[in-house]
């Protein structure tokens, strides 16, 4: 069984989707071994506790830099013997020590169709604000491996979701979560745990 750590910062609905998928037996070959939060008041920690999954806090505000926090996280993940790191609404940009320790073994979910509305400053509701400002008719979600470039790693899966005329950022966020994120992320995690994701340069091949 691959040991999965889920990194969170907020509400944790993507964590919940992973927990629900695990409970349905849909995370084949892996188990969520730990939930690590960058904030002490993340509701995601309560979701972990309710599911009986060990949770801990590595608070961003206790470190002078993203670099110092990343080093602490890497130590913790190594101590927990983690095989796969999942960023599920994790709002800290990790430095290259993390990527070097877990090459093609960190999966992120982003609430837009990368390369649109991605990169530094594009996170959470801001992504949907930018999509609405631009006037796109389709947005969606992307699940990808994390590389040293913010939102720039090899794409595992994407799903388009319609933008409707009266959408607010909150309404669009919810539709993208329901129709795309909560499905794509558990599927990608399960494929990883079965060794079915093969990275070839920028491309991820899904093995049968
Ligand atoms: C999700 O929409 C996720 O895609 C996004 O934050 C939200 C977290 O919600 N992540 C990013 O923007 C990362 N760049 P959640 O805590 O309910 O899963």
* pLDDT tens digits, 126-164: 999 999 999 999 999 999 999 999 999 999 999 999 999
**Residue of the nearest CA to atom 11 in ligand 1?**
123
Helix, strand or coil for residue 2? strand
Q: Of 88, 112, 147, which is best to mutate to test ligand 1, by the most ligand atoms within 8 angstroms of its C-beta?
A: 88
| Domain residue spans of the chain | 1-102, 109-208
Q: Which CATH number fits domain 1-102: 3.30.930.10, 2.40.50.100, 3.40.50.170, 3.90.1150.10?
A: 3.40.50.170
Domain 109-208 has CATH 3.90.1580.10: no
Q: Residue-wise over 30-54: b if at least 16 C-beta within 10 A, else e? A: bebbbbbbbbeebbbbebbeebebe
pTM over 0.95: yes
pLDDT in tens, 8-58: 999 999 999 999 999 999 999 999 999 999 999 999 999 999 999 999 999
Asked if 144 is an active-site residue, the reply is: no
């Amino acid at each position: 069984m691959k040991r999965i750590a889920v990194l969170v910062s907020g509400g944790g609905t993507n964590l919940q989707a992973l927990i629900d998928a695990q409970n349905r037996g849909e995370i084949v070959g892996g188990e969520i071994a730990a939930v690590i939060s960058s904030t002490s008041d993340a509701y995601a920690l309560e979701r972990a506790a309710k599911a009986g999954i060990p949770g801990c806090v590595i608070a961003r505000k206790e470190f002078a830099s993203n670099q110092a926090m990343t080093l602490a996280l890497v130590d913790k993940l190594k101590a927990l013997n983690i095989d796969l790191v999942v960023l599920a609404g994790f709002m800290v940009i990790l430095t290259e020590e993390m990527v070097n320790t877990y090459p093609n073994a960190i999966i992120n979910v982003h609430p837009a169709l990368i390369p649109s509305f991605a990169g530094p400053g594009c996170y959470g509701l801001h992504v949907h604000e930018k999509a609405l400002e631009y006037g796109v008719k389709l947005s969606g979600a992307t699940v990808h491996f994390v590389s040293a470039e913010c939102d720039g790693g090899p794409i595992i899966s994407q799903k388009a979701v319609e933008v409707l005329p009266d959408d607010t950022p909150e309404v669009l966020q919810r539709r993208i979560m329901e129709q795309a994120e909560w499905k794509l992320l558990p599927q990608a995690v399960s494929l990883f745990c079965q060794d079915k994701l093969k990275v070839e340069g920028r491309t991820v091949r899904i093995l049968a």
